[in-house]
Structure 1
Amino acid sequence: MTGFQPPDTLRQHRPLLLACEAIGWLHMTGKAKIDFLRGHGGQKNDYEYEKWDEIESPAFPWDDQLKWVKDNFTLNRDAWPATFTEYIRKHTKRDKGLLGLLQAGHAMASGIEKNLPSATAKYLGQDVTHMWLSTAFGHPARNLLADPPELLTESGWKRLLEQIVQLLTVLQQLGKNGSPNDIDGWWRWRDEAVGPEGWLRKEFSSTLAETRLPNNDVTLFDQSYVAAALFKSAAAGAILEGSSFPWSSNGLKQETRWRLLTVGIGADHYEARAVKIGDWTGARLALDEFFINVCKLVEADLAVGSLLYRDGETCVFSFPGERFGHDKQGYRGGDLQIAEWQDWLAEQIDGYASDANLEMPPYCSISEPSRSLVGMTAEIRKARETMVVPVFRDWRIPDQDSSKGHVCPVCLVRRSPSVTDKQMPCAPCKARRTHRLDMWLEGKFGSDTIWISEVADANDRVALVTMNLDIEPWLDGTRLDALRTQAISEWRKFNPILKNQPNPIDPSTCCDSLFQYIKGKLQSFDKTDPVLSNLQEGYQHEKDWPSFFSKIVEDRADSPQWKDIDESVRAGWLTHQLFRKLASPGRIYRFERQAEDFFKALLAEFRDIAAADRNRWRVRRLVLKPDNRSSGSWEDRQTYGGRYGDAPVSLLYREQTEDFLTICNLARLLKPEQDKDCLRGITLELKADDSVDAKPLVVHSAADAADALGVYHPVIPLDLSPVRFRVLLPLEAASACVDRAVEAWRDQFARVWDRLPLRVGVVAFPRMTPFQAVIEAARTIESDLDGIQKPETWRVAGCETQKGVTTLSIKSLDHRQEILQTIPIRVPDGREDVFYPYLAVEDNQVRFPLDFQHPNGQVYRHAKDLRSGDGVLLYPSLIATVFMDSTARRFEPFRRRQLTEWPRMRDLWRLMGRHAPSQSALRGAWSEIVERRDAWQGADGTWFEGGKTAWLDFARAVFHERLGVRGACLEMLVEAAGDGLLDWSLEWHMSVLKEQVSGLPVRGRTQTGGDR
């Protein structure tokens, strides 16, 4: 589509659009000053965050910094406000022009989160002693005034202003004097500010955008970044509409809509075909570079949108959308030419994929217009469903039809240059392997290794740990149904008078009374209604019920259309939405960031756990210089393997320095007390990866590797995104890492544990197991664990509340499984948490003051109000473990277990470690018990009549006589034997981890990540 002109139009306005984005980032900068929090915490001051620039000495020079934009882009006379300070002063108002578009973006990212007027919601405020920033799921993260981050100090504020001045200075230099083709310059400018490691991202993520409960879950960065993305796309849409855009309209705040641009690539197919781990990690780098090129095109080159979501195979950007009531007489025939845009973008993106020699075609789609991001998950799902087929549309790659050489064993498409070696990859696949090696040698992987031989533990075993948080239903808003922005009973209590009139809602039946009140008001639209104006500030600006319903319900939930439902259903949806935490763009962005940050924090801890070892050689590398007696030539950057005694040795040859770098677990070669000089003079018989002939290497000297290559963490991250976390670890450290993940999940997500399950898979395998088999096993486990799309019903066995914590005991309907869960029900200042800890119950009747009902009939009940016998619906947290002693194990069914059983399983091993006199005694006792179990069970595993009871009595006697266990410990072992947990514990620790009970300490963790 070489004749398509709109991209050139946007490129001509690139400085304007990126300046708009910068204004969006900075329009709430005043909230980053500690005076903002103090003022909202009840400490009297005259600080107005919209006027922070005036009180600086000298005043912050907004107009001086940005005047060049207005001078260079005149636009319509109504497009520009009188001064640039109006973007700061009036971002919550209703104006025309570009200011109106910023207000539209701000309202979507910030305004709908509050969901209530400030004047009547003071009871939700925090005070200066408890000004807490919480996570997106209600866990208190930091008391900002008692323990302020550096940003909220005087020096932090001054540094922030200096950085903002520098940001705007570089913006001006690029806009006025920079080359129009300097896309990389614009990209670096954005990335340094708001990229994954951007300074503005870090600073604004440390403080609040909204101080009231429960909206203290969204940071200043979340609101600012999303508002900037929406402002930028709205401004791009206005530029594309040209002279037909209604710059003079004061209704832009309410009328503006956006689309979503989704780009994807079938990353899973590359992973599934990888012959070696380097094939997948190399392909991952190629895919990352592809996505970076896409981001550069959308965010910097065209400046048409900003990245709102990214995982391993999809990216979603903001994109311009037509306004409400658009008359179809605008730019180029009445719309934004979305079909033409999609074709043009697909053509550009195809070019990036072709340049990267990608074997799969990219996916490109632009959504329907909306005023929210709740449709983002559906767009991502549509992309994944399309990309399930590797080549879902016509796609040709170079050398695909060549008849020379063997088919490449990696991509299975191109031909390798060799006609004899069937294992030799084609040139692009080989280049991906070497590109990964180049980056590692340059230190671009940080402290992480890329060598599985360094990850392997003392038994030459590795674990692939995979986790996910089932975050996608939060991104489309469906799991927010159980969260409250305020409780109806609390609202009624603290708002007895509305507009000088008694609140008409009956305090004894708040939920039903409000429903009946709203239903009675649907006959006519009264924008002065005291109840509805109080519950939703935007209500008074609407013209009729369908318009209000479309914004509050249809755009923010998966709901039916106004015209398709009766008044009872309409009233039910409005009652629900007016008190529900809404899936605002800022909050959705926060959800995905929170999930990814959770995994990033775990990865940092896993590095420390995996690296802890008594033997200092475990995480070190040496440089070995060959003796002149070493025969033959060595290939540059080739890996060579051999053995020295019982230890495997892996080395990388570097031609430039004529030496070998160790890339194996040196703790298997050297004892802690040994010196590297003991390797001098030894002879190693080495073979290249793809060779059968060995060559001797006589070591002349050994020295510590220098710089970043000297010390490493024995972990290989394979995937880290909001939806999935995969990492390779030493098997001996895997249990401690899972322990930490379970502990962190139970702590940070305790208020939403029933709706945000953690699913964990562990694939243990010997180092030499083919990588394809390992990945296939991991994918099978993931598919099985993630296959539970509907909640399970469990029965409450007990519920006790003490000191702000509810302890809940629930059992599965077959009584075979039990979960003991603690749920915090207070916020840090001592008030009851009426926002997060609600569970879906079987009962469809509203019985308690805090109960509320979804329009589909589902009742949600506060944790403290649950009673024995109540049925609760929850999404289970699960774990599955497998040891691949053979590649055939990936075809066998995996047993999934409740995640709460993992700590019990680990505790059983500690218990046996304290009581079993020896490893042989434990094996003998269990062998005897299993032999009797097999005898008393049929071939299908069913018990003969009375067999299980008799077998448990027999097990009790054996544990008592052979292991000396008594009392409660004895009963714990018998119970674990009956439910299969003891089998799991013994198999995992003795057979897989090869741990010994005789030397097992009692508490804590050893330096190798085990227990002590």
Structure 2
Amino acid sequence: SCCQHPLGYPAGSDGFRVFLATPFGYEKDVLDPAIYDQAKDELEKAIQMMLATDEESFRLSKFERQVKSWLQRALADTQRPLNDITVWDVGHSGMAFLKAGIWSLHQKGSTSHQELEKQKAYWRILRYGLKGLEFLDQAVSVPDLAARQCLLKNELDAMKRFLEEEYPVATEVYRDENGSLYVFPDLDWQSEWWTAKTHLDDKPRQDPVSGGLKLADVYGLKPHLEVTPGPYYHRPNRGPQGDLPYIGTQIREWITDPPTAEVHLAAFATTGQKQGELCPYCGVRIIGGGAELVSDGAVELQRYSEQSRQLKMCCPCLKLREGRAADWVKRIAGGDKAYTIWLNEVADVNGRLALVVGRWDVEQFMERMHYPQKGTKRFVILARATFLGDAVPSHGQKLRVGVRRKSVDLDWNAAKQELIGIHEGDRPDIGRFQRDQLSIQLLDKEASTLTATLVELAQEGEELYLYLQKEAAITSRLIPERKVKIFGCDFIVVDKHILRPAGIEAKKKILEVCCWQSDGCTFFLSTIQTIPLTPVVHSESFARLRRVWETTRQFWKEAMYDFQQRSEPSKFRRLELHSREPGDWAANQAYELLLDGAKLSVVWDGERKCFITADNLAYLSQPQQLGEDVQHWLQTHLGQPLSVIQSTGYGSSDKRVGDFTIERAEDVQVKSESNHTPSISILTEPQTFMVLVPAQAALELVRSIKQKYEREMGKVRPRLALHLGVVFAFRRTPLRVILDAGRRMLRVSSPPAVWDVESTATKGGRVAPSYLRGDPHFATWQELVLRRRTDGRRAIWRVPLKMGDGTSDDKWYPLVALEGIAPQRGLAHVKVIQPRDDILHHGIEFIPTTFDFEFLDTGGRRFEIAYDDQGWRRGRLRGRRPYLLDECDVLEDIWRELRCGLTLNQIHILRDTIEAKRVEWGLQGESCPQGQTVFLQFCRDMVAAAAWKPGTRPDTEKLALYAARGWLADAVELFLEILKRNDSQVERGDGDYGLTV
């Protein structure tokens, strides 16, 4: 180990690189030792400022921000694999327990040293939250969604300030879309803290965008507050009597089971007193109601009441909508090109957008968060046995064989006809026979003796045959039909290398001496395989749990940044529309201008007295819309009045509210031109990801996430599943319909399954795929081709074998569980995994990553997004989904084959004919078993009969199998009907991950 500097950096380490690892084994350079003094100075400066600040002015949150960035770059330990924890992780977790522990002891009245020594500190957990996705997917529009997120965040922030600063008894250790979790003292509910908490609800929320409105007042809901009834201990299985539960386990359970929100009845107090339609945004007040919550003066009250009735919403919802729109106008006027809150801006040139969702299966990873443990060497022994005689073992029966004066117990697996066992110590040298060297005495004049090696025993009826290793010195001396003696018994030479006992005694002798005898069974081992295991320990360190959550959250943020950086130079534009007589339009409100039947979405900038376009101008330029550039069209219609339309909400027609005569239309000025794809980020939480992007950019984002996942999580891929999905929709599809579909898609799960290793190869960095090439972790890597045993689906696992310096071998992370071997008994390093053979074929445990998609041609289509317990889509024609994430490239390869070889009409005919026959014959999903080979032959005939362009005929057998499985239909739906790709230039994937025929 290294001599550590106070910040975790080795002293005097010229040229020494310090790496911080994620809990998934991906290392990055952290603080350069050369600037260590700067880090020390910045920390000391922050501490001195904190000490000099008076109690009233001090803000813990501000102090945390000042020191966090530096402490997150300081390692708590520089030794691998302990370098995945930072000083911030340890310090924050330690202070959370210390603060709450002090309160626990104070509550018990322990003040003297003698009393404190006798007391034990325990902790509880406080949670404050609601079912976030269910709350958010009720949003009617993006401004409404942003308002809901803002108000929920304000509530969580207010509780955090109260618990950490105003009444400092607890520390927030986790937060996501569902709320916050705190390490809380072991306090009684009737304590003074509970009395103090009641004042929190009366405090206004300080947020300029929400205007001081609170979640409970607007939506009639409050986050649920709950404290665990009993105490917990801070270490797993370490209570004083070993009977206290671990606090980390309860936190994990609460994360997966968010609470239901509490109803705030006061918000509904006036609902039944007035007649009218309920506000569709909040469902709490009638349209036009709630003016007293948002205004003080009579004039302002009257304005809100009238305008909210026009827009068919209540006054609080109008104020929140105005706040988000005003923020957008301000940022756009300031030159921020990338920011948007309008679905029409996100939609692509075809008027379609996509909700990309993702979910980590973090809970399954935490159950398998194993780290190598120093100790005895351990091996798993796999063997095929041949039993001689009538005794055959039952399933699970233990049979013993000897290894160098030791014995190994092997368990009989009746289903696989194999023996399996664990050996501790040096690599075992188990022979197939108890004794395989035979001394053969020839009955000739010289009575010479030969030494032969027994290689096989075969029983045919009552006869037993001994097969000897073929050696010239042996076979030349054995003459058929003659007798020889072994162990004093007579044997007859059947062939030059085959003997048989000449009687019962000889047979018994050979079985007794050469074969293994155990528990009444006589056997020898026909095949033996020995695999080294890595002893592991399951880590539930609280600091490491927090590190996992922080890393997965950061992954989503970095993935979106990488996606934007890889985007093509943006052609996205906005226009400012000015008029000599601008009119009196409502500031920051959305309208539509009628342009020859096409509708252009605009927002009124009240300060600069102009409309700003809030639409994808490229879409409006399409032949189905204006058929020409929007700005050009406007320039040719200067001075002509354009009708201004205002949406009046669902269930009623849009209303014409006036005319607008354009004097000039010019581009909105931006600070700088950059790569940019319009997007609206909804969630980037530890487990959940949601973002709205143009439909044509969705698969590129999926590909970007997939590549980052392979690069940074490739070592632990069998344990950390990632589920991605895309919901495609028209730009006019209600937002709540899109969000509901995305929430349904996030319910997918993949149970662990056994996968067989078809092939494995060690490769160098130069032959890695382009997105992995140059990464030091992939200087050497292992490629495993895996096949799921249940359905034959294939995946390629690319495993980096190096650490962040590109030279150190990774001994800690690329570990997998072998079929039938409990992880507690050891995991196998990926380098020792052997491909499946026809004799011994133990698979590995692998949790697959998945990809799903759905196009909402109607709102009701979202109800078809449902999954069974095995993770498959329910429904006759969706059963082939979700796909493995690797298979995204296969779908693109299928489309490339079709588009390069057939016309669009021919593609439609081929797809429709095959799918019509599938429906006619009642075939389910992807099923194409042996009994349905007629359908597979039909697909072969259809593919072969298609009029392929010269030189483009594909592999008929492979494409026919894809067609029979339904993949061809999905490729056509995805690339032609949804994304409208009519070009023949489709990028090939990195490999063929499909099914073999």
- Regarding TM over 0.5, the answer is yes
> Residues 243, 949 of structure 1: CA spacing in aligned structure 2 closer, same or farther, 3 A cutoff?
closer
Q: Structure 1 residue 714: deviation in Å? A: 0.9
- For residues 45 and 924 of structure 2, the distance between their equivalents in structure 1, rounded to whole angstroms, comes to 75
Q: Structure 1 residue 964: deviation in Å? A: 4.2
Counterpart for residue 753 of structure 2: 792
Alignment partner of 2:724 out of 752, 760, 767: 760
- For residues 337 and 197 of structure 2, the distance between their equivalents in structure 1, rounded to whole angstroms, comes to 34
What is the DSSP-based 3-state SS (H/G/I as helix, E as strand, rest coil) of the residue aligned with 2:896?
A: helix
Q: Is 1:652 the equivalent of 2:629? A: no
Counterpart for residue 586 of structure 1: 543
Counterpart for residue 137 of structure 1: 24
Q: Structure 1 residue 911: deviation in Å? A: 3.9
Counterpart for residue 940 of structure 2: 953
CA-to-partner distance for each residue in 1:90-130, whole Å, 9 max, x for gaps? xxxxxxxxxxxxxxxxxxxxxxxxxxxxxxxxxxxxxx766
Alignment partner of 1:366 out of 215, 218, 227: 227
**Contact 1:687–1:693 under 8 Å retained in 2:** yes
**Contact 1:906–1:985 under 8 Å retained in 2:** yes
Counterpart for residue 878 of structure 1: 850
Q: More strand per residue: 1 or 2?
A: 2
Q: Is 1:685 the equivalent of 2:643? A: yes
Q: Structure 1 residue 621: deviation in Å? A: 2.4
* Root mean square deviation of aligned Cα: 4.1
**Contact 1:259–1:320 under 8 Å retained in 2:** yes
- For residues 581 and 416 of structure 1, the distance between their equivalents in structure 2, rounded to whole angstroms, comes to 56
Alignment partner of 2:100 out of 233, 236, 257: 233
Q: What is the TM-score of this pair, normalised by structure 2? A: 0.68
- For residues 158 and 726 of structure 1, the distance between their equivalents in structure 2, rounded to whole angstroms, comes to 40
**Contact 2:378–2:534 under 8 Å retained in 1:** no
What is the DSSP-based 3-state SS (H/G/I as helix, E as strand, rest coil) of the residue aligned with 1:437?
A: helix
**Contact 1:443–1:709 under 8 Å retained in 2:** no
**Contact 2:100–2:170 under 8 Å retained in 1:** yes
The AA in structure 1 aligned to 2:32 is: L
> Residues 447, 939 of structure 1: CA spacing in aligned structure 2 closer, same or farther, 3 A cutoff?
closer
Q: Structure 1 residue 283: deviation in Å? A: 0.8
Counterpart for residue 618 of structure 2: 667
> Residues 440, 230 of structure 1: CA spacing in aligned structure 2 closer, same or farther, 3 A cutoff?
farther
The AA in structure 1 aligned to 2:148 is: A
Show the 5 A alignment for 1:401-800.
401-417=272-288, 424-443=312-331, 447-474=338-365, 477-480=366-369, 482-486=370-374, 488-489=376-377, 579-608=536-565, 612=568, 616=571, 618=572, 620-628=573-581, 633-645=584-596, 648-669=599-620, 679-680=634-635, 681-682=637-638, 683=640, 684-690=642-648, 691-693=654-656, 695-706=658-669, 713-783=677-747, 785-786=748-749, 788=750, 790-800=751-761
The AA in structure 2 aligned to 1:624 is: L
**Contact 1:486–1:834 under 8 Å retained in 2:** no
Counterpart for residue 288 of structure 1: 153
Q: Structure 1 residue 901: deviation in Å? A: 1.4
Q: Structure 1 residue 831: deviation in Å? A: 5.2
Aligned length: 756
The AA in structure 2 aligned to 1:983 is: A
- For residues 708 and 759 of structure 2, the distance between their equivalents in structure 1, rounded to whole angstroms, comes to 25
Alignment partner of 2:44 out of 159, 162, 165: 165
Q: Structure 1 residue 865: deviation in Å? A: 2.8
> Residues 942, 382 of structure 1: CA spacing in aligned structure 2 closer, same or farther, 3 A cutoff?
closer
Q: Is 1:813 the equivalent of 2:789? A: yes
> Residues 133, 982 of structure 1: CA spacing in aligned structure 2 closer, same or farther, 3 A cutoff?
same
CA-to-partner distance for each residue in 1:301-328, whole Å, 9 max, x for gaps? 223232211101221122334xxxxxxx
**Contact 2:9–2:78 under 8 Å retained in 1:** no
What is the DSSP-based 3-state SS (H/G/I as helix, E as strand, rest coil) of the residue aligned with 2:703?
A: helix
> Residues 391, 168 of structure 1: CA spacing in aligned structure 2 closer, same or farther, 3 A cutoff?
closer
The AA in structure 2 aligned to 1:871 is: G
> Residues 934, 314 of structure 1: CA spacing in aligned structure 2 closer, same or farther, 3 A cutoff?
closer
What is the DSSP-based 3-state SS (H/G/I as helix, E as strand, rest coil) of the residue aligned with 1:695?
A: strand
**Contact 2:893–2:988 under 8 Å retained in 1:** no
Q: More helix per residue: 1 or 2?
A: 1
Q: Structure 1 residue 897: deviation in Å? A: 2.2
What is the DSSP-based 3-state SS (H/G/I as helix, E as strand, rest coil) of the residue aligned with 1:408?
A: coil
> Residues 319, 942 of structure 1: CA spacing in aligned structure 2 closer, same or farther, 3 A cutoff?
closer
What is the DSSP-based 3-state SS (H/G/I as helix, E as strand, rest coil) of the residue aligned with 1:364?
A: strand
Q: Structure 1 residue 434: deviation in Å? A: 2.2
**Contact 1:233–1:304 under 8 Å retained in 2:** yes
Alignment partner of 1:318 out of 183, 198, 212: 183
- For residues 219 and 969 of structure 1, the distance between their equivalents in structure 2, rounded to whole angstroms, comes to 53
- For residues 837 and 33 of structure 1, the distance between their equivalents in structure 2, rounded to whole angstroms, comes to 26
CA-to-partner distance for each residue in 1:729-759, whole Å, 9 max, x for gaps? 0001101111111111122111111221111
Larger Rg: 2
- For residues 112 and 955 of structure 2, the distance between their equivalents in structure 1, rounded to whole angstroms, comes to 76
**Contact 1:878–1:897 under 8 Å retained in 2:** yes
Q: Structure 1 residue 882: deviation in Å? A: 0.5
Q: What is the TM-score of this pair, normalised by structure 1? A: 0.67
**Contact 1:838–1:863 under 8 Å retained in 2:** no
**Contact 2:311–2:647 under 8 Å retained in 1:** no
- For residues 259 and 600 of structure 1, the distance between their equivalents in structure 2, rounded to whole angstroms, comes to 32
What is the DSSP-based 3-state SS (H/G/I as helix, E as strand, rest coil) of the residue aligned with 1:778?
A: helix
What is the DSSP-based 3-state SS (H/G/I as helix, E as strand, rest coil) of the residue aligned with 2:759?
A: strand
Q: Structure 1 residue 227: deviation in Å? A: 2.7
> Residues 854, 248 of structure 1: CA spacing in aligned structure 2 closer, same or farther, 3 A cutoff?
same
Q: Structure 1 residue 398: deviation in Å? A: 5.1
> Residues 708, 221 of structure 1: CA spacing in aligned structure 2 closer, same or farther, 3 A cutoff?
farther
Q: Structure 1 residue 205: deviation in Å? A: 2.6
CA-to-partner distance for each residue in 1:385-431, whole Å, 9 max, x for gaps? 4634x547977655354334322222223233269969722233333
Q: Structure 1 residue 592: deviation in Å? A: 0.5
- For residues 688 and 710 of structure 1, the distance between their equivalents in structure 2, rounded to whole angstroms, comes to 32
Aligned-residue identity in percent = 20
- For residues 977 and 787 of structure 2, the distance between their equivalents in structure 1, rounded to whole angstroms, comes to 31
- For residues 219 and 383 of structure 1, the distance between their equivalents in structure 2, rounded to whole angstroms, comes to 23
Moved more, 366-375 or 964-973: 964-973
Counterpart for residue 91 of structure 1: none
> Residues 730, 656 of structure 1: CA spacing in aligned structure 2 closer, same or farther, 3 A cutoff?
same
- For residues 976 and 374 of structure 2, the distance between their equivalents in structure 1, rounded to whole angstroms, comes to 52
Show the 5 A alignment for 1:38-437.
131-139=18-26, 141-142=27-28, 144=29, 149=30, 151-152=31-32, 154=34, 156-174=35-53, 177-179=54-56, 182=57, 185-187=58-60, 189-193=62-66, 200-237=67-104, 244=111, 246=113, 256-321=121-186, 336-337=187-188, 339-340=190-191, 343-344=194-195, 347-348=198-199, 350-351=201-202, 355-356=214-215, 357=217, 358-367=219-228, 368-372=231-235, 375-376=247-248, 378-379=250-251, 381-382=253-254, 385=257, 387-388=259-260, 390-391=261-262, 399-417=270-288, 424-437=312-325
Counterpart for residue 560 of structure 1: none
Q: Structure 1 residue 768: deviation in Å? A: 0.5
- For residues 7 and 597 of structure 2, the distance between their equivalents in structure 1, rounded to whole angstroms, comes to 59
What is the DSSP-based 3-state SS (H/G/I as helix, E as strand, rest coil) of the residue aligned with 2:319?
A: helix
**Contact 2:786–2:796 under 8 Å retained in 1:** yes
Moved more, 947-956 or 930-939: 930-939
The AA in structure 2 aligned to 1:865 is: I
CA-to-partner distance for each residue in 1:624-656, whole Å, 9 max, x for gaps? 11243x7x6422221111343575411111223
- For residues 983 and 621 of structure 2, the distance between their equivalents in structure 1, rounded to whole angstroms, comes to 26
**Contact 2:349–2:619 under 8 Å retained in 1:** yes
The AA in structure 2 aligned to 1:642 is: L
The AA in structure 2 aligned to 1:791 is: P
- For residues 698 and 972 of structure 1, the distance between their equivalents in structure 2, rounded to whole angstroms, comes to 61
The AA in structure 1 aligned to 2:752 is: P
The AA in structure 2 aligned to 1:872 is: I
Counterpart for residue 819 of structure 2: 842
- For residues 170 and 655 of structure 1, the distance between their equivalents in structure 2, rounded to whole angstroms, comes to 43
